[in-house]
Structure 1
Amino acid sequence: MDKDTVVESQHACTYAALLLSDGGAEITALNLMKVMRAANVEIEPFWADLFANALSGRDIHELVVKAALEGQGPATATNGNSSGQGQKPAEEEKKEEPRPVSSDSDSDDMGFGLFD
């Protein structure tokens, strides 16, 4: 099985699962395969089993929202705003102040030098 076939099978199962979820149908291997046949898409049957087991008892809409928020970065995920509004511009973010550089070396502070 080549990489393209794997990706296509995964996408097909994902879309079929979303379709079943939107329609209020249970996500089972049998239902996934029915959607595949109706869409004239051929996949290896183990993909339907794999997706059905992985999604068993899970809310797909919650998974999609969570994944979308995580992909947007921490500012959006923490404030729950997926539109991007309410984010602080980069220049307003708190920045660490640089420390002043002293003329004394660290070894002088400790009372000994590297080669003493």
Structure 2
Amino acid sequence: MALSNDELACVYASLILADDNVDIKGDKIAAILKAANYEIESYWPGLFAGALEGIKVTDLIKNVGSAPAAAPAAAATTAAPAADDKKAAAGKDAPKKEEKKPEKEDSDEGEDMGFGLFD
């Protein structure tokens, strides 16, 4: 998704406001862009202000990568004790023996997989 320059300008202005702990409002975004001598369509600042209403942008930035990384780590920590509990309940720490099954020879003669062109 490619952002236009107008969208990027609003994003940067919103980040400036969030960094200064100022409420993100359309008129404040427009004021920052006017101070930067950047001309923008009048609807962009209000659109961004409405989208960010009630959202703490600084918390959003701090938690960008934390949620997906935490879920697999939590699953790994809960799975390991469960495996240890099973071993303790069984009273055996001996490795399991693997049984070998004889492998069938691959041959194309006489095999019908049921995939016919006109079935």
| Pair in the same fold by TM > 0.5 | yes
Structure 1 residue 40: Cα displacement: 0.8
Number of the residue aligned with 1:64: 61
Gaps of 5+ in 1: 80-99, 106-112
Instruction: Supply the distance in 2 between the matched residues of 1:32 and 1:47 (Cα, whole angstroms).
Output: 9
Closer, same or farther: CA 46–102 of 1 in aligned 2, 3 Å: farther
**Residues 34-91 of structure 1, C-alpha deviation per residue, up to 9 Å, x if partnerless?**
0000011111111111100000010101222233x16xx94xx328xxxxxxxxxxxx
Closer, same or farther: CA 102–50 of 1 in aligned 2, 3 Å: farther
Q: Does 1:103 align with 2:100?
A: no
| Counterpart secondary structure, 1:103 | coil
Quick one: which amino acid aligns to residue 61 of structure 2? V
Match of 2:70 among 47, 72, 78: 78
TM-score (norm 1): 0.56
| Counterpart secondary structure, 2:37 | coil
Q: Does 1:21 align with 2:18?
A: yes
Closer, same or farther: CA 103–29 of 1 in aligned 2, 3 Å: same
Aligned length in residues: 80
Quick one: which amino acid aligns to residue 53 of structure 1? G
Quick one: which amino acid aligns to residue 30 of structure 1? D
Within-5 A mapping of 1:29-40: 29-40=26-37
Where relative contact order (Cα < 8 A, 6+ residues apart) is larger, the structure is 2
Instruction: Supply the distance in 2 between the matched residues of 1:65 and 1:52 (Cα, whole angstroms).
Output: 20
Instruction: Supply the distance in 2 between the matched residues of 1:40 and 1:30 (Cα, whole angstroms).
Output: 15
Greater Rg over alpha carbons, structure: 2
